[in-house]
Amino acid sequence: MASGKATPRQKMINMMYLVLTALLALNVSKEILNAFVIMNDGLTDTRLNLEKKNSDLLKIFEESAKTQPKYKAAYDKSKEIHVLADNLTKEIEKMKIDLLKEADGPETESVVGDKIVLAKLGKKDDYDTPTRVMVGEEGGAAGKGADLKKKLRDYVNTIMTKYIDPRDKDKLKSSVYINTEDIPDPDEPEIKTWEAKIFHHAPMAAAIAHLSKIQGDVRKVESEAIGYLFSAVTARQVSFDKFKAMAIVNDGFIFTGSTTEMTIGLGAYDSSQKLKIKLNGNMVGEDKIKDGVAVIPISGSSVGEQTMKGEIYVFDPEKNAEVPYPFETRYTVGAPMATVSPTKMNVFYIGVDNPVDITVSGVSAANVLPSVTGGSISGSGGHYVVKVNGAPGTKAMVNVSAKMPDGTTKAMGKMEFRVKRVPDPVAMYLGSKGGPMPLNQVKAGQGINCVLENFDFDLKFNITSFTLGANINGNFMEESCAGPAFSGKAKDILGRLKTGNKVFFDNIKARGPDGTSRTLQSFFVTCK
């Protein structure tokens, strides 16, 4: 088109073609820039909603601290986190305003007082200002982006080291997190840092939208940290990570025809604690203690009532000292008693086969007659399965009788169980609950699944539907999928992903073995 000789008519056609191409390019650019304006407005609304949520939670925290002293220390920490988040959010807001004035001039219509109206920015397509201010000029001093990156890292690190219990860091590292990793782009040598990846040759509209997104990240971290402190207050200062169902007959023995009481509860212990135990005046050897629990052999050589007492010394991080917890127990060596032993826990789950072992010493298993109020029981030979039909929060009673040699039936004991719903499973993608994941791995997945974590029963939930969403080149695309597998459109969205994109999984529904439909926790993965 530009070589050789051309007639005046051909030159005119060529010129019109160039003008048309330029106009089309301008139209596309304008649509993209306007999309960034809409995105920025949405991100700002999200951040303002988070700020209101955080303020409301702080007010609840404050009221609790006025009437319950145990909330005071955690409330003070939450206020400190709120100040950190406030200061950083305001600093980023000032950075946005400075950028707008740098690009459009001090009198820009895009800044009204302390408010930003991005739609009125004249130079939405200004690529130079974000690069020069935020990344810095080649060979010169670093831009403001490097300083922002450091402050974001310091913000997250301060919260994790100063306000989060070291034992909880692993489970919070994916939520109390802002991605500021320096990942060089092999296709673009000039992209070597986090700030370059975001602001290098980014139009002003995109740069402002990304800063708004970062402000939302700051508020999200604040929300996660304050929520963690609030929920942790009601827990004991000593952390427990393992549980065991316990049923204790108060006298340890009953004669036929007599009655006693049974105490049923859930015992909790910390498997990482190095316990010190004193039993009947003597320290228990370390070889008897494993995973935070002591196993002590007891001899039944003496007939009659036996008493054992002592103290368990547990380190309390709040007091920075070992705190003694006294205990006393009695047992009787002698005649038989009925035993109802829950195979799993002292809880019966709806829609699940709950196994229990029931025996009566001195009585043949064939003559043991168990029954259940609030459900049904089946099985034999001491091994039974209970199915409950009560609502969550109700009780089910296991009653044990025995057929005596003279043909009569006598009650031998009973145990009360709580009826609960099977807990919600956790949704996962390729074995991950969210966080960074290699780009090629994200694209290779075929769907999502869900698992029951830390649950004794082998149960399976099935994903019935979910929504997949991702921001592709400034456009947020989403697709609703039926079942656990990706639809064709969802796979197309995954195929367009690039490093740094986030894939959101939301509106996740799953059906359990009890027939109920559950709404699971949303999550996202970041392509790296």
Tens-place pLDDT, residues 241-262 = 666 665 555 544 443 444 455 5
- Among the listed ranges 118-127, 338-347, 491-500, which one has the minimum average pLDDT value? 338-347
Rounded Cα gap, residues 425 and 523, in angstroms: 13
pLDDT confidence of residue 269? 63
Residue 156 has pLDDT above 90, yes or no: yes
User: Mean pLDDT, to the nearest integer, of 459-468?
Assistant: 94
pLDDT confidence of residue 302? 60
Q: Phi first, then psi: what are they for 47, rounded to 5°?
A: -65, -40
Q: How confident is the model at residue 396 (pLDDT cuts 50, 70, 90)?
A: very high
Q: Which residue has the higher pLDDT, 237 or 443?
A: 443
pLDDT confidence of residue 253? 45
Q: Phi first, then psi: what are they for 417, rounded to 5°?
A: -120, 145
Radius of gyration of the chain (CA): 33
233 by DSSP, 3-state: which? helix
pLDDT confidence of residue 66? 85
Using a pLDDT cut of 90, give the percent of the chain over it.
Answer: 43
Q: Tell me which amino acid residue 475 is.
A: N
CB 272 within 8 A of CB 309: no
pLDDT confidence of residue 429? 96
Considering the domain delimited by 336-421, tell me its CATH architecture. Sandwich (2.60)
Domain ranges of the chain: 8-233, 238-333, 336-421, 426-527
480-489 contacts, C-beta under 8 A, 24 or more apart? 480/507, 481/447, 483/447, 484/447, 484/448, 484/449, 485/446, 485/447, 486/445, 486/446, 486/447
- Among the listed ranges 118-132, 314-328, 481-495, which one has the minimum average pLDDT value? 314-328
pLDDT confidence of residue 316? 60
The residue among 453, 506, 434 whose CA lies nearest residue 172 is: 434
Angle between helix 204-233 and helix 144-162 axes, rounded to 10 deg: 10
User: Mean pLDDT, to the nearest integer, of 135-160?
Assistant: 90
Q: Which helix (H) or strand (E) holds 104?
A: helix 72-104
348 by DSSP, 3-state: which? strand
CB 464 within 8 A of CB 510: yes
- 3-state class percentages of the chain: helix first, strand second, coil last, to nearest 5: 35, 30, 35
2: which residues sit within 8 A by CB, 6+ positions away? 14
Residue 224 has pLDDT above 80, yes or no: yes
Q: Which helix (H) or strand (E) holds 68?
A: none
pLDDT confidence of residue 23? 44
Q: How confident is the model at residue 27 (pLDDT cuts 50, 70, 90)?
A: very low
Q: Which residue has the higher pLDDT, 136 or 6?
A: 136
132: which residues sit within 8 A by CB, 6+ positions away? 143
The residue among 404, 335, 397 whose CA lies nearest residue 367 is: 404
* Separation of CA 240 from chain center: 18
- Among the listed ranges 26-35, 174-183, 224-233, 503-512, which one has the minimum average pLDDT value? 26-35
Using a pLDDT cut of 70, give the percent of the chain over it.
Answer: 80
Q: Which residue has the higher pLDDT, 495 or 5?
A: 495
pLDDT confidence of residue 187? 79
pLDDT confidence of residue 68? 79
User: Mean pLDDT, to the nearest integer, of 162-185?
Assistant: 89
Q: How confident is the model at residue 414 (pLDDT cuts 50, 70, 90)?
A: confident
Q: How confident is the model at residue 313 (pLDDT cuts 50, 70, 90)?
A: confident
pLDDT confidence of residue 245? 64
- 355-372, pLDDT tens digit by residue? 998 888 767 788 899 999
Within 10 A of 417 (CB to CB), how many other CB atoms are there?
28
Hey, which bits of 270-320 come out as E strands? 276-279, 282-283, 289-290, 293-294, 304-316
Q: Which residue has the higher pLDDT, 318 or 210?
A: 210
Rounded Cα gap, residues 83 and 77, in angstroms: 10
* Separation of CA 182 from chain center: 26
Q: How confident is the model at residue 2 (pLDDT cuts 50, 70, 90)?
A: very low
Per CATH, the number for 426-527 is: 2.60.40
pLDDT confidence of residue 264? 62
Average pLDDT taken over every residue of the chain: 83
Judge whether 336-421 and 426-527 match in fold. yes
421-424 contacts, C-beta under 8 A, 24 or more apart? 421/349, 421/350, 421/392, 421/514, 421/516, 422/349, 422/350, 422/351, 422/352, 422/452, 422/455, 422/457, 422/459, 422/512, 422/513, 422/514, 423/452, 423/455, 424/510, 424/518, 424/520, 424/521
108: which residues sit within 8 A by CB, 6+ positions away? 100, 101, 120, 121, 122
Per-residue DSSP letter, 220: H
Q: How confident is the model at residue 21 (pLDDT cuts 50, 70, 90)?
A: very low
Q: How confident is the model at residue 57 (pLDDT cuts 50, 70, 90)?
A: confident
Rounded Cα gap, residues 443 and 486, in angstroms: 11
pLDDT confidence of residue 65? 84
